[in-house]
A and B are shown apart, each in its own frame.
Chain A
């Protein structure tokens, strides 16, 4: 046995209970895209076991196989022993970081780019400029396919519009809820109109909407890459930004950010005081659909919308980590004029998985194709998802596989009724 972190050792002993039954075969997206056992939870678990037992070195291939897990969590639900393969994969990443340091590109990305919505935005914007002057056209094929994942990039980000150009209206009468809205990096840079729809819908639900300018990246990418120091720093900043404003609830439109924020309570805090604060923060955190349906009481506006059919894709973080499955569907079903059409395998990962679609484009594309085939078979005009990360990937899928379906967030459809 090697000496490994306590957490990895703990998880290793849990994998004693992997009976290799293969039930994960049914649900593992990477296995179904590659038909390779090393891309299956059962295989990944075996590799970690051999590594911990000392019969396998920390090779490049081991790292690749480990990192090719999407972290979608479908196997956890399916596993008789509920073995948490995504968590095992993250702990292996931490082991790699410990042994060999973090890869330079990952570290740059995590420490310089993925820190705040605006620094992320600057990089995205740079790409958009390059597109305009045609630089992206001369990219090598490998990079071109990655570049194409990004949708058209809006001229101005949400923050540019909200803090700089628009005068925020002062609240006149007190509202029922004081709600902090966490605007994630993708919503800010790629979907500013979603953020304005969110504000509109929240206000219609008798909420005072607070969007702290000091809030930063939720830190989920850092959690996923096992960059604990950075994850803690970001969490502290966000906790301060929202808790200081004395909000009743913190809501987000992004399943992934939601998962990252909810996870603050389980981070490795240095003091009991910080841990309690994180607990307070996480307990106030709700996904927007959950907040509207379970807390505020869903309201649908009076404006009629043209008859349309809508399907819904379950974001992995939203449906499996935050357990929000019924609420988005309930919202869509309650809008007059909307015919809700459930697609097959709605909770099958779309292959976005954070930066996965950029890093492992070939496998991600195969997973995406399966998703788009299911979207097509539903026959719906609109494809909705409760996570901008998924929306970006689905929008790419729509272009790549020539679908007419328009990709939206459920809240954007609800906003049309007000």
Chain B
């Protein structure tokens, strides 16, 4: 069937106003945060699970590629319709369906913004911890697809740790329900957890059930300044050795501190080799003891200065810089690739040193900050696409960094996903057997390979 006929059938089946083939609309759904751009042939904007199922049934019958999309803040090309076809925009399904106070559970649609869910549950004294840096704009559906995480992963884990149940439309158009409001459930394979992090290649999430926890009573923030990157890395492991699990434990290298400080005055010293940003949370008494303990450890590891935030405003000022990290780098170069290597926590100093070596080798700036507490470093490769030689160097630097990450027993991506960008790196990390199993699973879910094809592996 011709594509225009498919578009007509889609319009007849879910409603004319939910389907577009106008060039201008196709252009607006041709990108995400990666550098890839490719126009789809049709954009659909479903409002119900039935809409999504109807779209998938038609697409599956006609063997047309479907790419799911939320706020398109993916930086690995996960939202790019590589083969054209249909982009299915889920942001219209954006209702919080239920906040169940008795079971500490929230049920929502995939288009709900992460920060919005956080704010709504906070009104009732609950906490939904997964905190990707794009939380003000990224959707819960997208978070499920990429198993998104953020600074608080060190204490609270990532999206996966909170998802209890899903409603998913399969590539065939069948509607699958997994899990539910149960905290425990060991009957059969855990399909919920298989779907979390599957990057929209196995199904399209239409409803999500997540676990909430009580909001911690208090939090304290501090900033530790180091003249030696290794000292800072040692402090990270020492803090955790001493049985303190901070709610955030972030490391910034000198290059990023300088670029951030140029962008927004966060009070970061620009002559230090490394900064540690630490937050502890819990009951008020607990927090006061812990922050002192952390401060002493930081000092004993060679911090030249330790700053304790005494008010929420002071704390906010310290975090404002870190939160502007990506923005600050974007202001430095037009293209910023946030690399995402994650290594066992104690290997982080080696990883950071390697990044510095690579930067020296190619004579470029690689500002690096990341979630030191969980071994997740984000070396940022920055370049100007109008200078082809910069792109070439960037590609070499990326290869060097990931080879080291794998050698240290790490992964090519801790929280961003594989998408298009890391596809070629997959065999570097995974043995052939693993890849074969993944392909077999994909085949069962999506026999015609129509859902987000060309992504992942």
Contacts and interface: CB of A to CB of B under 8 A. Distances in A.
Interface string A13-44: 00011011111011000000001111010010
B137 A22 contact: yes
Interface of A: 16-17, 19-23, 25-26, 35-38, 40, 43, 46-47, 50, 56, 59, 61-62, 65, 80-82
B27 interface: yes
28 contacts: A16-B334, A16-B384, A16-B386, A20-B31, A20-B32, A21-B33, A21-B327, A22-B73, A22-B134, A22-B137, A22-B138, A25-B71, A25-B136, A26-B137, A35-B111, A36-B28, A37-B25, A37-B28, A37-B89, A38-B28, A46-B31, A47-B24, A50-B27, A56-B23, A56-B27, A61-B22, A80-B330, A81-B331
B156 interface: no
Given A22-B134, A56-B24, 4 more contacts: A21-B73, A23-B136, A38-B24, A80-B327
Residue among A19, A36, A40, A65 with the highest chain B CB neighbour number at 10 A: A19
Given A25-B137, A35-B91, A81-B330, A19 B24 contact: no
B24 A59 contact: yes
A417 B447 CA distance: 76
A77 to B, nearest CB: 12
B327 A23 contact: yes
A47 B336 CA distance: 22
A35 B72 CA distance: 13
Given A37-B28, A43-B28, A81-B331, A22 B94 contact: no
Interface in B123-143: 134, 136-138
A17 B134 CA distance: 18
Interface in B308-355: 324, 326-328, 330-331, 334-336
B191 to A, nearest CB: 29
B92 interface: yes
Contact of B71 (A22, A61, A81): A22
Interface in B369-391: 384-386
Instruction: Name the interface size band of chain B.
Output: 35 or more
A56 B24 CA distance: 8
The 8 closest A-B pairs by CB, nearest first: A80-B327, A25-B137, A43-B28, A37-B28, A80-B330, A38-B28, A61-B24, A19-B330
Contacts of B25: 37-38
A47 B137 contact: no
Nearest to B111: A35
Contacts of B111: 35
A196 to B, nearest CB: 43
B137 A23 contact: yes
Contacts of A59: 23-24
B29 interface: yes
A65 B24 contact: yes
A138 B248 CA distance: 64
B417 to A, nearest CB: 16
Nearest to A55: B27
B72 A19 contact: no
Nearest to B33: A20
A17 B330 contact: yes
A37 B327 contact: no
Nearest to B325: A80
A80 B264 CA distance: 10
Contacts of A62: 24
Residue among B24, B136, B384 with the highest chain A CB neighbour number at 10 A: B24
A153 to B, nearest CB: 36
Contacts of A20: 31-33, 72
Given A21-B326, A50-B27, A26 B386 contact: no
B317 to A, nearest CB: 18
A46 B23 CA distance: 12
A347 to B, nearest CB: 16
B336 A35 contact: no
A80 B263 CA distance: 9
B334 A19 contact: yes
A254 B137 CA distance: 33
A82 B267 CA distance: 22
Nearest to B72: A22
Residue among B28, B31, B136, B334 with the highest chain A CB neighbour number at 10 A: B28
Residue among A22, A35, A37, A38 with the highest chain B CB neighbour number at 10 A: A37
A61 B111 CA distance: 26
A37 B29 contact: yes
Contact of B28 (A16, A19, A47, A81): A47
B35 to A, nearest CB: 9
B320 to A, nearest CB: 13
Contacts of A80: 263, 324, 326-328, 330-331
Contacts of A40: 28
A21 B75 CA distance: 9
Interface in B63-118: 71-73, 89, 91-92, 94, 111, 113
A81 B439 CA distance: 40
A35 B92 contact: yes
A36 B72 CA distance: 12
B115 to A, nearest CB: 8
A17 B327 CA distance: 11
A173 to B, nearest CB: 48
A367 B29 CA distance: 23
Contacts of A82: 331
Interface string B4-23: 00000000000000000011
Contacts of B331: 17, 80-82
Nearest to B134: A22
A16 B71 CA distance: 20
A46 B28 CA distance: 7
A308 to B, nearest CB: 28
A116 to B, nearest CB: 38
Contact of A26 (B72, B136, B326, B385): B136
B33 A19 contact: yes
B374 to A, nearest CB: 23
A48 to B, nearest CB: 10
Contacts of A35: 45, 91-92, 94, 111
A46 B29 CA distance: 10
Interface in B33-61: 33, 45
A17 to B, nearest CB: 5
Nearest to B94: A35
B101 to A, nearest CB: 22
Contacts of A61: 22-24
Nearest to B335: A19
Given A19-B336, A21-B327, A35-B94, A46 B137 contact: no
Interface in B276-301: none
Contact of B33 (A22, A36, A46): A22
B27 A47 contact: yes
A59 B26 CA distance: 14
Nearest to B92: A35
A39 to B, nearest CB: 9
A46 B330 contact: no
B334 A17 contact: yes
A80 B328 CA distance: 7
A35 B111 CA distance: 10
A23 to B, nearest CB: 6
A19 B334 CA distance: 7
A257 to B, nearest CB: 33
B192 to A, nearest CB: 27
A19 B326 CA distance: 10
B33 to A, nearest CB: 5
A25 B139 CA distance: 11
A47 B263 CA distance: 28
A38 B23 CA distance: 11
Nearest to A13: B386
Contacts of B30: 46
